[in-house]
Amino acid sequence: MLKFLNILFKDFCRIFLRSIIFVLIAVIVSMITSYVWSDEFALNFTAQTAYRMNAMRYCSAGIWAMLIVFAAVMVVVAACQWFGEDILTNRSYLNHLLPIYTWELVLSKAVAGLLVLLCAAAILTYDVLKVANSISIVGDILSVIPDLSQSDGLNFDLKMFIRLGVYFVLMLCLFVMSTAFMSQTLGQLASRGFARNFLIFMGFFALVFISGAVLLTVFRAGGVSINFKELNGLQGILDMAEKILRLISNTNLILSILYMTGASLILTYRLNV
């Protein structure tokens, strides 16, 4: 257990250092966005130039929102890159000498990626709430959401949906990482050069296609319906949204375990890692 934690700490530090710069950029842009939406900034404009102020406000908010998504994507990319460098390159031969199982090396990369993602999410969530106080429209939307749970005849648990949303994002990122791990491992079965890169590329999209087919099968078995006419108003939509999120998240978790297991088996029995 201690050896696994040592590997996990190393992986966490590597992925964190590779991706934190993108989180910091999003934080810096959020500070700019918060100032642009402040009353102090509005004093620099007149009624005739208010359109410029609005254009700057919405552009800054849009760029900030895209950077938040980009930062989360780069955490996943950093985890996938570190997997390849630490396990599949010539520099990774020292890992092969460690008294640790191959599946622990693979699992450590995935867990470290999720931990870094949680750290980034904590920073960015605080960032979002801070900027929301400056953007009146966002603040109004956030203030209305809790009132839904108090609506007559509406069973809406905000905390449950937040937990489910976090679980959904984590499982989605885990699925992407495990799929990338598996495709990179499959690529090692080919000779160097174009054949290896082609196998990695095609392997990734083949796994995504298979996963999509599995998810559609799960939807049909679970009785998922996206026909709003068949749903019972807003309550029916909320119940179906909860059901869809749970099915997707649980399916991604199962597929991630299968892909990481497959990568571990290939590394152990075909590549002698």
- For the chain, the average pLDDT equals 81
> Which pLDDT does position 175 carry in this prediction?
92
Give the per-residue pLDDT at 90.
63
pLDDT at 155: 66
DSSP collapsed to 3 states, the chain: CHHHHHHHHHHHHHHHHHHHHHHHHHHHHHHHHHHHCCHHHHCCCCCCCHHHHHHHHHHHHHHHHHHHHHHHHHHHHHHHHHHHHHHHCHHHHHHHHCCCCHHHHHHHHHHHHHHHHHHHHHHHHHHHHHHHCCCHHHHHHHHHHHHHCCCCCCCCCHHHHHHHHHHHHHHHHHHHHHHHHHHHHHHCCCCCCHHHHHHHHHHHHHHHHHHHHHHHHHHHHHCCCCCHHHCCHHHHHHHHHHHHHHHHHHHHHHHHHHHHHHHHHHHHHCCCC
Q: Tell me, what's the pLDDT at 210?
A: 92
How many CA atoms are closer than 13 Å to the CA of 183, on its beta-carbon side?
Answer: 23
Most confident of 84-98, 179-193, 198-212: 198-212
Least confident segment among 32-41, 52-61, 97-106, 226-235: 226-235
pLDDT in tens, 28-87: 888 888 888 877 888 888 878 888 888 888 888 888 889 888 988 898 899 988 888 888
Indicate the range of 74-83, 99-108, 124-133, 176-185 predicted with least confidence: 124-133
Residue bearing the bigger pLDDT, 150 or 239: 239
pLDDT, tens digit, for every residue of 160-174?
778 888 889 889 999
Show the tokens assigned to 29.
């842009």
- Answer whether residue 5 shows pLDDT above 60: yes
Percentage of residues in the chain having pLDDT higher than 90: 17
User: Is the pLDDT confidence value at 91 over 80?
Assistant: no
What's the pLDDT band for 250 if we cut at 50, 70, 90? very high
pLDDT of residue 127: 75
**What would the mean pLDDT of 196-213 be, rounded to a whole number?**
88
